[in-house]
Structure 1
Amino acid sequence: MKLTLSALAIAAVLATPAQAQGLSYPATRKVDQVDGYHDTAVADPYRWLEDDNSADTKAWVAQQNEVTDKFLAAMPQRLPVRHIYTELYNFERFGIPFHEGGRYFWSRNDGLQQQNVLYTARTLKDTPQVALDPNALSKDGTVALSGVVPSRDGKLLAYGVAGAGSDWQVWKVRDLATGQDLADRIDWVKFSSAAWTADGKGFFYARYDAPKEGDALKGANYFQKLYYHRLGTAQADDVLVTENRDDKEWGFGAEVSDDGQLLLVTVWKSAGSKNGLMVLPLPKGAFAGGKPQPVTLDFDAQYNPVAVVGGKLIVKTDKDAPRGRLVAIDLRHPAPAGWKTLVAEGPDAMTGASAVGGRFLLSYLHDAATLVRVHGADGKRLSEVALPGIGTASGFGGRWDERETFFSYTSLTNPAEIHRYDLKTGRIELFKRPKTAFNPDEFETRREFVTSKDGTRFPIFIAARKGLKFDGSNPTLLYGYGGFDISITPAYNVTAATWLKMGGVYVIASVRGGGEYGSAWHEAGTKLKKQNVFDDFIAAGEWLVRTKVASPATLAINGGSNGGLLIGAVTNQRPDLFAAAVPQVGVMDMLRYQNFTIGWAWATDYGTSDDAAMFRALYAYSPLHNIRSGVKYPAVLITTGDHDDRVVPAHSFKYAATLQAADTGPAPKLIRIETNAGHGAGKPTSKIIEERGDILAFIANTMHLEVK
């Protein structure tokens, strides 16, 4: 199957698709709501859509979905694209194995299972047994595993489940010998895993108080606390380990050192990458009470604990090293003046560190592609892990006294394959390689560099069929994110593979706001500098047009969450540059985002409208507030989930209503609202295929492309 674009179709791409002629959007009621921000009055006529549980909003959702469903169903590309997507999604996929208590654990999906299944085996040669199958937890496949943590002896499994894409989790404990759950149940967990004590008698976790009615609209009114749960007791009896009532933005991550003698508490504050670090002794591997003591609570840099080695706490930090370094801290004298640098900052950004087999495995990004270097206990560089090519590697977990680790490797055109790495011999062995209907040998990826408006240079990765002629006629899909220190690196995904197999070109842009070049790169795309992100992405689009990879008639853009904000902002700023735009679960109302659920935590990247200078910056790019009536826009498909409790659907609802009410030309402006779905994590396979297939079919339909 392939996608074809005739010369006549190219000329007609910016015309209205046949289905859009006479398209009538539901009338959206307006209210007389005006808010004062400093010296500016801002109207918010669709404020009522913020209540996603009201009867009026539910009726609006049904009306919008009726219009969208009718449009999508009439697209001749829909079924062929869904067929290709299903074919490419249907392949065996594996998670990265890890070892605990004499058992190996890894996840597997046979292809079209709604959720990945957790398996366990005593050796890698044994036939694996099912440890936990989340597909048995719900009829519709919307209940997903949010985390799994075996006890040190490998007998028990703490696991979290979340339903309908929600961030809320329930944690339970399973006896792996019997396959039965214990009576223990932990509620109101969000943004937390579990950390077993070495004696196996309980675990640490972070939770919120049970929310009261209306708290969904008052996200800052609850705060996280760190607890210890002893097996066999009620959650009401769990021991409060630490909290901070004076700063409700604090959250906690917990892990126990390999020797079981120390609890390492990472203190996060909002969604920023800067954090605090505390420790609590665990005598004889047990929790004996007490309060964690700070190593640092300055929140001036990243402090990520790696291991406890030789009585020293090893930490990856960007303190005085924007691209990262490895330090050793004597906990008897934890003042920063006494920290010893084990591995100094280098030219590449250190993005990860682990301690396995008496070695430190340090992951770096070199122009947004992974490098992994091996260092000895003294910090001396020993070797480099031989990766298959320019792509993304992850994993490398394990314990200091183990000799093996596992990692995955992927690129834009290579599905993730799993490797075993022997720390003693340096030997790399293939563990699992997926067999797919996508043939990577037919495609190629190249890295290019684009110069942004202010002269900043950044990489983009372009995947296309080998030998494809670049004459501006190629349907091209450009993806970006640009925020929260999250690096966009070349990795296989079925959306890209489907687009490539259809004959398109797929491009990712590693713009500012991510972590590709360290903390300075991230900060250059935040707060008052957020416009840099949009400038970078626009520059990538202009580069693709200038070099004839694409043209404005054949260029589409896509991004989700913070990337949805990116797509909304650049669509407003350069509607002439793109044929289609698909913002998914986007942050669209930059003046009120902090008022909903966890939104307050994003102020580290965005700032808030409470500050006069930040208000002006936010108001200048907020997708909701900068839709330009009287200007011809590309076709827009907005996607969200009605149960999204991270980026609440009100963002997309209000944006869609405003876009439909404005005079932005005849191209469709539609919103696809997935019911009983959230932000994306844990979404069942069937919903993924339907939604992402519709996205690609919408783009193909906009460009009048024939999909065979």
Structure 2
Amino acid sequence: MTTNSAVASPSPETTSALTYPTARRVEQTDNYFGTTVSDPYRWMEDVDSSELKTWVDAENEVTQAYLSQVPSRETMQRRLMELINFERYTAPERRGTRYFYSHNSGLQNQNVIYWQEGLEGEPNVLLDPNTFSADGTVAISGMSVTDDGSMAAYSIADAGSDWVKWHVRDVTTEEDLPDIIEWSKFSGAAWLKDGNGFFYEGYDAPEAEALKAANYFHKVFFHKLGTPQSEDKLIFDRPDDKELNLGAHVTDDGRYLVLYQSKGTSPNNEIAIKDLQQPGSGILRLIETADATYAPINNDGTLFWLLTTLDAPNGKVISIDLNHPEREHWKTVIPESKNKLSDISIIDNTFIANYLADAQSLIELRRLDGQLIERLKLPAIGTAYGFGGLREDSETFYQFTNFTTPGTIYRLNMKTRQSTLFRQPKLLFDPALYETTQIFYTSKDGTRVPMFVSHKKSLVLDGSAPTLLYAYGGFNVPLMPEFSSAHVMWMEMGGVYAQPSLRGGGEYGEAWHEAGTRLKKQNVFDDFIAAAEWLIANKYTSAAKLATSGGSNGGLLVAACELQRPDLFGAVIAQVGVMDMLRFDKFTIGWAWKEEYGSPSENAEEFAAIYKYSPLHNILQGTAYPATLITTGDHDDRVYPAHSFKYTAALQAAQTGPNPILIRVETRAGHGAGMPLSKRIEATVDQYAFLVMELKVGALGE
């Protein structure tokens, strides 16, 4: 193996080519609707093979040897730790007389869960996941507290897995009960009003290896406290459709169990309701057709308020009376507006409606008849979320953040409608030195797309600034202004951080989302490429100084764009990406993404569209691709790590010129959720070291 000489920012023209570990090729072909497709690295789908482990270890050695050449790596690590080392809280939630919240003192690997009596009470540690494992890789993935605040069901994820194990803790004694629930996935815990048990979701124990096996037939179970899991009752399932995901929620009054059913990752869903006060009562199929999103907000007896996209892509609020559930009796309470209604709650018998206005939060308070009371004044342009609680509560809490403001918590008095500062982090940088603007650019087909651009106020627009372009563009997920210590450090280094709101996301409602799905997925790539071109045309940066980054669906995004426009980017960081778009539905929960991407093996038209952009299948031999860093976790059971392995091997084999193609495989890590802070810091520093090398970024303080 050969590496470059140890200089801070080697010139690509003088960098010697890396020698990569040999990746064996096999004669494997598949036929898709008459098209023969080669898959020479199919053997990499066996992620437990000794051959693959040898290859992964060797690739990690190449990557670390390359990145170790950056002298400022240790300086970046120290500065990032300084920027992250501030107290972080979540908004408190009241249960009975107790308040529950999480807290991180600064550099703890995992947040600690606390409870206290009243807002002025003494904090008590309820759960400290930092004690669960020596390396911090065991995390709390979910928690639900009984109405009286006496019991907490919490789920544990090991090494970032989607599989979780449920436990129950007595809040007063801070001791665990014997109750343990296994083989739960994509689940919450919905307690009965009396706290005697809870509903949860899961699958039958997989017969094959759990990391790889596809998961079908999601089910809702009920666990009664003090009984073994073997006695848990199956409450609801849909054996007629193995691809439905289920969810369960108990209404605040404790009377009804609301059962959600959605197909894969589609935002549309059905709803069934069971009356828990009527023993032996059947299940009412309230919404039998998943023709829109239906999200119950709250209820007053048999009257339910729901947020729906039915005939309203941006969302509206309707009411349904269970005594007259037919559609002709549904009433519109808050009509659709030009802004997307992303979330809504009822506190003090008042709607708190959280809208997205050009990817920023806009909060409206409305009466239960839908009439506007006022718009909540927010501290600045940014993102506000929270607003939880019960319908009769007279207070609620929310968190506000933007690109230079860490999560700051406010208490909203619903009687006076005044917000007061509740908890504010102390910062180790000066936010006044930076600015964020929102611009709008035109995509290939004329669509107007917004983008946030953040940087030092002193930035000179001469095309020389290293720029990090980050996006997602899928699954109805909106990218909002949000604080990141890593992005602050990037701006301290003279960098620009740019975040466009691509089609496929959730910034402008369901029509915006659908415009970037299935046969229209190319729109997402066009939007991203147009963002890069705008940054260059407007003298923020140049192609040689422009880096892209994205994770999961965003990893697919940046990989597809580097293949379509290799001339446009100086560096690419593709994290846990979906790279083999012809086989994404073969592993774990990948089949659920067919609602978003289409079905490559079942639909000829969708196969043809996917085949045109699938990263693994659009690599051209003898092409000079941008410097690329691919990242994945060896325990990723969301996006199976073979995606990244196969893409790396194929891209390394095709690359011409000196630009490196590297892969960084994190051990005891999954898709990203629950990753300990120490590992997140190491991963970020490695990514920035890569950018320092490839974009010739100056050291901190220059």
Q: Distance in 1 between matches of 2:348 and 2:652?
A: 58
Alignment correspondent of 1:66: 61
Q: TM-score, normalised by structure 2?
A: 0.97
Does residue 637 of structure 1 match 2:629? yes
Aligned to 1:6: none
Question: AA paired with 2:606?
Answer: M
In structure 2, how many angstroms separate the alpha carbons of the residues matched to 1:112 and 1:245?
46
The answer to which of 65-74 and 533-542 deviates more is 65-74
Note the C-alpha offset of 1:268. 2.0
Deviation at 1:706, TM superposition (A): 2.7
Partner of residue 281, structure 1: 275
Give me the whole-angstrom Cα distance separating, in 1, the residues matched to 2:433 and 2:207: 55
Q: Partners in 2 of 1:521 and 1:16 — Cα distance?
A: 39
Supply the AA of the counterpart residue of 2:157.
Answer: A
> Does residue 155 of structure 2 align to residue 157 of structure 1?
no
- Using the alignment, how far apart are the partners of 1:281 and 1:663 within structure 2? 62
1:269 aligns with 2:263: yes
- The Cα shift of 1:663 comes to 2.9
Alpha-carbon contact 1:561-1:585 (below 8 Å) kept:
yes
Q: Which residue of 1 aligns with 2:683?
A: 691
Partner of 1:584: 575
CA offset digits 1:600-643 (Å, max 9, x no partner): 00011100112111111111000111112222211100000000
Matched, 1:302 2:310: no
> Distance in 2 between the 1:319 and 1:135 partners?
44
Match of 2:222 among 228, 237, 252: 228
> What is the percentage of aligned positions where both structures have the same residue?
49
Instruction: Give the equivalent residue in structure 2 for 1:112.
Output: 107
1:452 Cα deviation from its structure 2 partner: 0.2
Range that drifts further, 84-93 or 540-549: 84-93
Give, in angstroms, the shift of residue 77 of structure 1.
3.1
Q: Find the residue that maps to 2:560 and give its secondary structure.
A: helix
Task: Find the counterpart in structure 2 of residue 26 from structure 1.
Answer: 21
Correspondence for 1:391 among 382, 386, 389: 382
> Which residue number corresponds to residue 238 of structure 1?
232
Give the count of matched residue pairs: 693
| Distance in 1 of aligned mates of 2:467 and 2:222 | 51
The amino acid of 1:75's aligned partner reads: V
| Residue 449 of structure 2: aligned partner | 458
Q: Which runs of 5+ in 1 are unaligned?
A: 1-8
- Partner letter of residue 237 of structure 1? E
Give SS of 1:158's match.
strand
Residue 49 (structure 1) aligned to one of 38, 44, 62: 44
Counterparts of 1:298 and 1:445, CA distance in 2: 43
Matching residue of 1:16: 12
Asked whether the equivalents of residues 546 and 570 of structure 2 are also in contact (C-alpha less than 8 Å), the reply is: yes
Q: How far apart, in 1, do the equivalents of 2:220 and 2:560 lie?
A: 38
Moved more, 251-260 or 211-220: 211-220
- 1:558-609 deviations in Å (ceiling 9; x for gaps): 0000000000000001111110000100000000000000000001110011
| C-alpha distance in 2 between matches for 1:159 and 1:521 | 35
In structure 2, the residue matched to 1:415 is: 406
Measured after TM superposition, the shift of residue 291 of structure 1 is: 4.3
Map of 1:488-503 to 2, 5 A cutoff? 488-503=479-494
Please tell me the residue identity of whatever aligns with 1:151. T
User: How is 1:121-520 mapped onto 2 (pairs within 5 angstroms)?
Assistant: 121-214=116-209, 216-220=211-215, 222-283=216-277, 288-309=279-300, 311-520=302-511
Q: Distance in 1 between matches of 2:9 and 2:520?
A: 34
Structure 1 residue identity aligned to 2:334: V
Q: Tell me, what secondary structure is at the counterpart of 2:388?
A: coil
- C-alpha deviation, 1:290, in angstroms: 4.5
2:12 is aligned with what amino acid? T
Deviation track 1:621-678 (CA, whole Å, cap 9, x = no partner) reads: 0011111222221110000000000001000000000000003421110000001100
Deviation per residue, 1:24-63 (Å, 9 max, x gap): 1001000100111111111000000011111111111111
The residue identity in structure 1 corresponding to 2:469 is L
Superposed CA offset, 1:132-165 (max 9, x none): 1111111111111111111111111111110100
Alpha-carbon deviation of 1:99?
0.6
Shift of 1:95: 1.1
Aligned alpha-carbon RMSD (Å): 1.5
Letter of the structure 2 residue corresponding to residue 16 of structure 1: P
Q: What letter is aligned with 1:126?
A: G
1: CA distance between counterparts of 2:211 and 2:454?
41
TM-score w.r.t. the length of structure 1 is 0.96
Distance 1:215 1:289 in 2: 36
Is the CA contact 1:261–1:281 (under 8 Å) kept in the aligned structure 2? yes
The question of whether the paired residues in 2 share the 8 Å contact of 1:353 and 1:360 is answered with yes
In 2 relative to 1, CA 386–83 (structure 1 residues): closer, same or farther, beyond 3 Å?
same
- Structure 1 residue 297, shift from structure 2 partner: 2.5
Counterparts of 2:55 and 2:349 in 1: how far apart (Å)? 59
Which residue type is aligned with residue 412 of structure 1?
Answer: F
> 2:3 — aligned with what?
none
Counterpart code for 1:504: G
**1:601-612 aligned within 5 A:** 601-610=592-601, 611-612=603-604
**2:333 aligned counterpart, secondary structure:** strand
Q: Which runs of 5+ in 2 are unaligned?
A: 1-6
**Corresponding residue for residue 80 of structure 1:** 75
Judged with a 3 Å threshold, the aligned counterparts in structure 2 of structure 1 residues 136 and 214 are, in CA distance, closer, same or farther, namely closer
